Structure 1
Amino acid sequence: MKRTIIFTLLSLALCLPIAAQDVRFGALAGVNLNAPDNLKSKIGYKLGAKAELGLSDLSQGLYLDMALLLETRAWKETYASAIAAYKQSKVSTMPWYLNYPVHIGYRFPVSQNVNIFVNGGPYVAFGLFGKMTHETVLMDGSTEKGTRYNNVFTDKNVNGENVQRRLDWGVGLRLGAEFNNKYQVTLEYDRGFRGFTTDYLSSRANLYSLSFAYMF
């Protein structure tokens, strides 16, 4: 049901450019903090391109915000051995996704050169690549470091499943300011609807971001 709702919203959003009065393109970069359920948070990065389509025929200030982002949704965790094979093992991942958010937003003029905007809507993200590394403390107190999986989206765990699911979807919310119709600073939040690891199916993306964009 959630998948149907997300893709229905995406289809509707893609039809809205018919009513668009103006189009702007931009480039953005930012920092992510992923704090998924039941796992430890870790900082990552994002970069990509975005487009804004004005919808003044529907309402002044209304617009469609779309982006194509290459971003990390990093996480880490510490495990204790259940069979006394080691004391503990810390794993760390930096998985990269191609993320496609489609948001409806509204822009509020504050002064001649400053606008405040808010937008929200669904996203769909596709996992590309990313390693999982580990630092394991052995029973004799020595430490072993290395790569546990070369690609968390294709490598299999002990149960024969992919370590991390490729497809993720959810919703996001953005609040930001634009200066001189060129520079944007945005606070962002994305909430995943799907458990993204096969070991922790209840762990969903919980992503906080700060991004900077330049509109051409």
Structure 2
Amino acid sequence: MKVTKLLIVALLSLCFFPAKAQWRLGVEAGIDLSSVNVKTNHTQIGSQGGLTVDYAFKNCINLSTGVFHTMKGANTICADDLGYEILVRLGYLEVPVMVGYRIPVASNIHLTPSIGTYFAWGVNGYGEFEKSAISNTPNESMNQTEWSNPFQSHYYNTAESERKLAYAFNRFDTGLRFGLNAEIGRVSMSFNYDLGLKDMWKGFMDAGLYHQLRNRNATLAIGYKFQL
């Protein structure tokens, strides 16, 4: 969290630079390639879209933020004693705060590498889980169970009708963001990578996780910027 606080202070301090600037409002849409930080997970493909706001200084410093809806999550074998296979899709409203340097490449063409942070709040999702082949109790079986809202704790029944609890996923997520944006006139193409720093799930009540799960997300998007 100290790194996140330092980034916020640095971004806010740039607002006091004695340089002329211009505001730009934009729209953006693209795809998410999301996963979590365990080796057994499989990348999920989702979608993202929203509004962008840029504050471009004449000295090439560029501040950017916006509001997006983004889908994260993964299909992963949880590293716990129960050996459940979890598929989860997590929808967030996300606000990034980025600072970059706008490099002129040619007439009306700019390249902007940037770094910053993001804040996300879970608003919707879907999940399902079932017993995996690597379970330590292979004779136990469980029908696939749907999870209509992963941001709420969920009770499910095994074949023996034993009620067990899956903890809710944390709604709040934050971490670092790295980006590269290319602009051709008012059209933009961007690549961003979110490195989640907050633990997103505790696992099951009757068995914790060996590894805390954290979001990883790469975004490819195209957008259009309006001069204000």
TM range (shorter): 0.7 to 0.9
2:196 matched residue in structure 1: 192
2:4 matched residue in structure 1: 6
Per-residue deviation, residues 140-165 of structure 1 (Å, max 9, x unmatched) = 9x994451x21111234677674211
Match of 1:172 among 174, 177, 181: 177
Alignment partners' CA distance in 1, 2:128 and 2:166: 18
The runs of 5 or more residues in structure 2 that have no matched partner are 156-162, 204-208
Are the equivalent residues in 2 in contact too, given 1:65–1:119 (CA < 8 A)?
no
The one-letter amino acid paired with 1:105 is G
TM-score (norm 2): 0.77
Q: Does 1:40 pair with 2:30?
A: no
**Alignment RMSD (CA, Å):** 3.0
Structure-to-structure mapping, 1:1-216, within 5 angstroms: 2=1, 4-7=2-5, 9-10=7-8, 13-14=11-12, 16-17=14-15, 19=17, 21-38=21-38, 39-56=41-58, 60-78=59-77, 90-134=85-129, 144-147=143-146, 149-156=147-154, 162-180=167-185, 182-199=186-203, 200=209, 202-216=212-226
Give the count of matched residue pairs.
204
The runs of 5 or more residues in structure 1 that have no matched partner are none
30-39 vs 193-202, which deviates more? 193-202
131-140 vs 109-118, which deviates more? 131-140
Moved over 4 A (4+): 14-20, 79-83, 135-140, 142-146, 157-161
Tell me: CA distance 1:145–1:27, structure 2 relative to 1, closer, same or farther (3 Å). same
Alignment partners' CA distance in 2, 1:145 and 1:156: 14
Are the equivalent residues in 2 in contact too, given 1:131–1:151 (CA < 8 A)?
yes
Q: CA deviation at 1:54?
A: 1.6
